[in-house]
Amino acid sequence: MIATNVMTIDHPRWREFYQLLEGPEGCNFQEKVPGDCESVTWKCAGGKDKSLARAILAKHFPDVDIEKSFEYFEEHGGYCDCEILFNVNRQ
């Protein structure tokens, strides 16, 4: 069992974290042309930058261990903010 102080897909507030990270406070996914999935844009610095996830965790989940959560994300392919959304949730 994974401790609830680590944000994982099993954390009781995972869905809330995921929605915040994909929303305006996070990667801010947008369809430039409504209904056209090819026109989707988002913000992410790439590489190993998880600054959006860090800010969301710090603001909304103060009891979560950010560094241990990042270890979990990377173990599951989440090396940057958008990869957390693309890869970590696909288990």
Q: Could you state, in order of their start, the residue ranges of all structural domains in the chain?
A: 14-20+44-91
Residue 40: C-alpha distances to residues 23, 32, 69, 86 (Å): 13, 6, 27, 14
Q: Are the CB atoms for 42 and 28 separated by under 8 Å?
A: yes
Whole-angstrom Cα distance, residue 35 to residue 4? 37
**pLDDT tens-digit readout, 57-91:** 999 999 999 999 999 999 999 999 999 999 997 65
Task: Please check the confidence at residue 3 and state whether its pLDDT lies above 80.
Answer: no
Mean confidence (pLDDT) of the chain? 93
Q: What is the pTM of this model?
A: 0.88
- Would you state the pLDDT for residue 91? 57
Six token digits for residue 91: 């288990």
Whole-angstrom Cα distance, residue 40 to residue 31? 4
